[in-house]
Amino acid sequence: MQKDDLAGLEHKVGELEKLTDALDEVPEEELVGTLGEAVELLAEINAGIEARLDAAGDESREIGALLGEVDFGTFDAAMEDHEQRERTTGEPGA
């Protein structure tokens, strides 16, 4: 689903680029309408970006919650032991 969202977003950015490239050739009487289209595309692009950021934030919170449930006690003890040996011998990994 994210690939579809990204593809849609890339398509809208492409449309916006085409519009901006064509602005020099747009007759004055059509300029307001063309700029309105550009603003509409920018709003859609912004909404897509915000949705992706919200989804990323949700995923980050889920990962944080999962990590909060993991017991790292054994790992922490092993790291502390390893660091203590490095301090006493002065040699990494000794």
Provide the domain count of the chain.
1
Q: Is residue 67 part of a domain?
A: yes
Range of the domain at 77: 2-89
Task: Identify the three-state secondary structure at position 94.
Answer: coil
- Which DSSP symbol is given to 58? H
Residue corresponding to tokens 């398509």:
11
Report the pLDDT value the prediction gives residue 92, as an integer from 0 to 100.
Answer: 61
Report the pLDDT value the prediction gives residue 80, as an integer from 0 to 100.
Answer: 92
pLDDT at 6 over 90: no
Report the pLDDT value the prediction gives residue 87, as an integer from 0 to 100.
Answer: 87
Q: Is residue 64 part of a domain?
A: yes
| Burial class of residue 66 (count of CB atoms within 10 Å of its CB; 0-12, 13-18, 19+) | exposed
**Percentage of residues in the chain with pLDDT exceeding 90?**
38
| Burial class of residue 30 (count of CB atoms within 10 Å of its CB; 0-12, 13-18, 19+) | exposed
Q: Assess contact for 37 and 19: CB atoms under 8 A.
A: yes
Q: Is residue 71 part of a domain?
A: yes
